[in-house]
């Protein structure tokens, strides 16, 4: 059954954990949808894991629309959330609503996610007023990497709680808590009526999200402490490539059974 915002509200009420993974292309989106992932995020993390950039800041709205189109066409069960990239909502409320609308109309997303707490309360409220569900994102916010001086754990409990309450009051249907101490995340989760989705925020959150490239071992660069590798696809792919090269060089591939 196709998930909706009401699904997640009910899951929090009943204490059922929410599962979220990123996806950027057809094959992985199909796999995680068939395995009944609750929510699929087309994240601006694609800047790092797909485009090879050092951060997410260069990702454009067109990039997110393109990848969301691919992911949304395969989704039969998972709820599709598209990231609002850097400078797609910060300039004005009107531009924020317009760009959120493009992600829904052109990309096929069912909700949008934006980084920021109380300072973006009005933007969240306006997007929700336009009929678009919003997932908020507080704590460590990768789009503010230069402002905070790197990817640092956020420990200001007062600020985090203020931001969490603000985004809920603005109408967000859920909120991502990134890079905050587990005890603070637990307090936020208990305080809010909307689900919290943790990434580096401990087990007490209502759900968890990971970047799929990280959790299956495709990203061989630095990984944050909160990432668990559930597979080593990068290593297996490397072995396969080496075997392919060896067989082609040695005229062992293709064999007769591979020919017409």
Residues marked active site are found at 178
Q: What six digits make up the tokens of 240? A: 């396969």
Q: What are phi and psi of 196, to 5 degrees?
A: -105, 135
Cα atoms in the Cβ-side hemisphere of radius 13 Å centred on 121: 11
- Report the alpha-carbon distance of residue 47 to residue 31 in Å, rounded: 22
- Report the alpha-carbon distance of residue 38 to residue 111 in Å, rounded: 13
Q: Which residues pair with 19 in a beta bridge?
A: 208
Where in 43-184 does DSSP place strands (E)? 79-83, 111-115, 134-139, 174-178
Distance of alpha carbon 256 from its chain centroid, rounded?
45
C-beta atoms surrounding 193 within 10 Å: 8
Sign, Cα dihedral of 112, 113, 115, 118: positive
């Amino acid at each position: 059954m196709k998930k909706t915002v009401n699904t997640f509200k009910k899951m929090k009420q009943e204490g059922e954990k929410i599962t979220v993974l990123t996806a950027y292309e057809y094959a992985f989106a199909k796999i995680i949808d068939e395995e009944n992932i609750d929510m699929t995020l087309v994240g601006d993390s694609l800047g790092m894991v797909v485009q090879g950039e050092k951060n997410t800041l260069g990702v454009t709205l067109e990039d997110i629309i393109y990848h969301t189109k691919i992911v949304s066409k395969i989704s039969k069960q998972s709820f599709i959330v598209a990231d609002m990239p850097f400078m797609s909502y910060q300039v004005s409320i009107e531009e924020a609503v317009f760009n959120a609308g493009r992600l829904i109309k052109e990309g096929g997303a069912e909700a949008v996610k934006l980084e920021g707490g109380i300072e973006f309360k009005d933007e969240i409220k306006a997007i929700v007023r336009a009929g678009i569900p919003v997932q908020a994102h507080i704590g460590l916010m990768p789009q503010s990497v230069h402002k905070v001086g790197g990817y640092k754990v956020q420990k200001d409990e007062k600020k985090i709680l203020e931001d969490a309450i603000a985004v809920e009051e603005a109408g967000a249907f859920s909120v991502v808590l990134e890079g905050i101490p587990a005890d603070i995340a637990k307090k936020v989760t208990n305080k809010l009526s909307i689900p919290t989705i943790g990434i580096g925020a401990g087990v007490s959150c209502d759900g968890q999200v990971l970047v799929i490239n990280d959790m299956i071992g495709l990203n061989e660069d630095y990984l944050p402490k909160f990432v668990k590798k559930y597979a080593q696809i990068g290593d297996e792919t490397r072995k396969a490539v080496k075997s392919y090269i060896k067989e082609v060089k040695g005229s062992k591939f293709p064999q007769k059974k591979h020919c017409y």
